[in-house]
Structure 1
């Protein structure tokens, strides 16, 4: 099987490629802005027999590929804030490039990395099958740009019902390989443990569902193995975890020291979310069965992250 990966310098993309390489004999054509960095990563991971690197201007509509996976986007909330309205342009540019390809190769499967942020709203409750996306159109804020970029892309995909397009909405992702300097709850915790600092947090007992590389791989592989379909799927594990249950477990296992502080510098590039996860398990019908709970996945990745 031949697979194109767009945005292959992203950590979630590279985690997926490594998972594929352990389980499947696929060939990859990797596209990224920094081809030198990509080439070095391929050499470091001994993947030169399975992966080739190309610049985006070499994307060729005449070549035949079985699957295209589009990871182009911003994974760091600080970078997402700084990018502002440019998120629309970068999302549409590479998405349109793939859609033009599909016009010539309708049998190719397209997997687009979307986000749980596409639902908008305030996430006072987890989203579900009946959740309606909410956008305050008369009072748009900078935290809405990312949501709207993903919503627009998904709407375009549903309109192209004769193409095989699956949007995978990632809510919370954690891997020991990701940049621990990024401003996420989980990476802030890792730095506190590594540096033996007190992790300061708010009194809000938020709930998250952290998908990790093994289950993300299982989800994507389920999409690849399934028949051609045009739909969107939410990521999920066996069960989510509340912040204070997570902190208590990390305190016990890794010696995390934390305190509740009224003044905490929290980066929320897409707005505050109390329950940022989904109970919409449509992916079950496509054969996806997560092997870990959010807590189990975090513990496994955390053990490796704290050794590195």
Structure 2
């Protein structure tokens, strides 16, 4: 039985992993969050009432775990923008909580949710194993704060080579549990489909690699099963997708209507990134093998979201038919 602490159990990606773990009998989870009542309500809605203990972060140090997974942070660009420089303190505080825990539990493994933003600015080309982090040290803008906070945490982890710490750099992630109010390209598309509206979208060319919950689960499971290591891995799928291909698929599969404009109306909280994905496949060394491409995952999850939306919409009143059938 693997005892796993989930820190930040209110986050979307954490919840998707909890659901994936819930069908595995050899995973004993303990969920931690600033709002435990919210997690308990969510477990009830998922049909998992009483399945896992739930506590606030103050109870974390009093338990023995084989693995700690730290999801604490923000996953919404608008939230990152609103949080501002507080991202530094939040990232440091919860990372230090786990590092202190490892002092007394040295055999425990630590998986830290990092970000592709840790590479810094640029992404005129996708990241590779040789890509260096680029930080505009003499002109640091607020858009860089999120990535610098993650980079700082990764540097602290590499400075502890005796500890089993793996940083998981997430670039793009999409699932049916996505908050549609978040300002991502894919959520902008889904809101337009839902509202039968024409999406106004910028003409800039971008490429993204959207990780599916099943592949994130595969990656985490591989890291837990592999020999302990101190390393960083990038998330990736079978294939990324560029904006023209994504628009074409969303139009063909779900009837998306869009119009290209010059300027983007979206939230760009971490800076422009034309090729925000990675060709660094070091995760394969730990046994990770993706099962889906970006397009496969998006179509699967978007279909589930739109199906749920159609079920939740009020049904029109039936039209009465007279006896003559007219």
Same fold per superposition (TM over 0.5): yes
| Residue 304 (structure 2) aligns with | 304
Q: How does 1:94-109 map to 2 (within 5 A)?
A: 94-109=94-109
Report the Cα offset of residue 64 of structure 1.
1.2
SS state at 1:137 partner: coil
| Residue 322 (structure 2) aligns with | none
Q: 2:121, 2:144 within 8 Å by CA — same for their partners in 1?
A: no
| Residue 286 (structure 1) aligns with | 286
Q: 1:234, 1:282 within 8 Å by CA — same for their partners in 2?
A: yes
Q: For the residues of structure 2 that align with 1:195 and 1:221, how far apart are their CA atoms?
A: 38
| Residue 323 (structure 2) aligns with | none
Q: How does 1:165-204 map to 2 (within 5 A)?
A: 165-204=165-204
Q: 1:127, 1:277 within 8 Å by CA — same for their partners in 2?
A: yes
SS state at 2:23 partner: helix
Map Cα deviations across residues 35-86 of structure 1 (whole Å, 9 max, x no partner). Answer: 11101111222324531110111222x4211110000001110110111110
SS state at 1:295 partner: helix
Q: Give ranges in structure 1 of 5+ residues lacking alignment.
A: none
| Residue 31 (structure 1) aligns with | 32
Q: For the residues of structure 1 that align with 2:165 and 2:58, how far apart are their CA atoms?
A: 23
Q: 2:161, 2:230 within 8 Å by CA — same for their partners in 1?
A: yes
Map Cα deviations across residues 191-221 of structure 1 (whole Å, 9 max, x no partner). Answer: 1111111111111120000001000100010
> Is 1:256 the counterpart of 2:256 in the alignment?
yes
Map Cα deviations across residues 115-169 of structure 1 (whole Å, 9 max, x no partner). Answer: 0000012111001010000001000100111011000000000001101000000
> Is 1:10 the counterpart of 2:38 in the alignment?
no
Q: 1:144, 1:270 within 8 Å by CA — same for their partners in 2?
A: yes
> Is 1:84 the counterpart of 2:75 in the alignment?
no
- TM-score, normalised relative to structure 2: 0.92
| Residue 215 (structure 1) aligns with | 215
Map Cα deviations across residues 240-266 of structure 1 (whole Å, 9 max, x no partner). Answer: 000110100110010000110113312
Q: For the residues of structure 1 that align with 2:307 and 2:23, how far apart are their CA atoms?
A: 22
Q: For the residues of structure 2 that align with 1:26 and 1:153, how far apart are their CA atoms?
A: 27
| Residue 120 (structure 1) aligns with | 120
Q: Which range moves more in the overlay, 144-153 or 44-53?
A: 44-53
Q: Which range moves more in the overlay, 264-273 or 88-97?
A: 264-273
Q: For the residues of structure 2 that align with 1:243 and 1:23, how far apart are their CA atoms?
A: 36
| Residue 320 (structure 2) aligns with | none
Q: Give ranges in structure 2 of 5+ residues lacking alignment.
A: 309-326
Q: 1:29, 1:52 within 8 Å by CA — same for their partners in 2?
A: yes
| Residue 135 (structure 2) aligns with | 135
Q: For the residues of structure 1 that align with 2:176 and 2:28, how far apart are their CA atoms?
A: 25
> Is 1:51 the counterpart of 2:57 in the alignment?
no
Q: 1:126, 1:279 within 8 Å by CA — same for their partners in 2?
A: yes
Q: For the residues of structure 2 that align with 1:191 and 1:23, how far apart are their CA atoms?
A: 34
CA RMSD for the aligned pairs?
A: 1.0
Report the Cα offset of residue 307 of structure 1.
1.1
Report the Cα offset of residue 34 of structure 1.
1.2
Bigger radius of gyration, 1 or 2?
A: 2
- Runs of 4 or more consecutive aligned structure 1 residues displaced over 3 Å after TM superposition: none
| Residue 271 (structure 1) aligns with | 271
Aligned length: 307
Q: 1:238, 1:291 within 8 Å by CA — same for their partners in 2?
A: yes
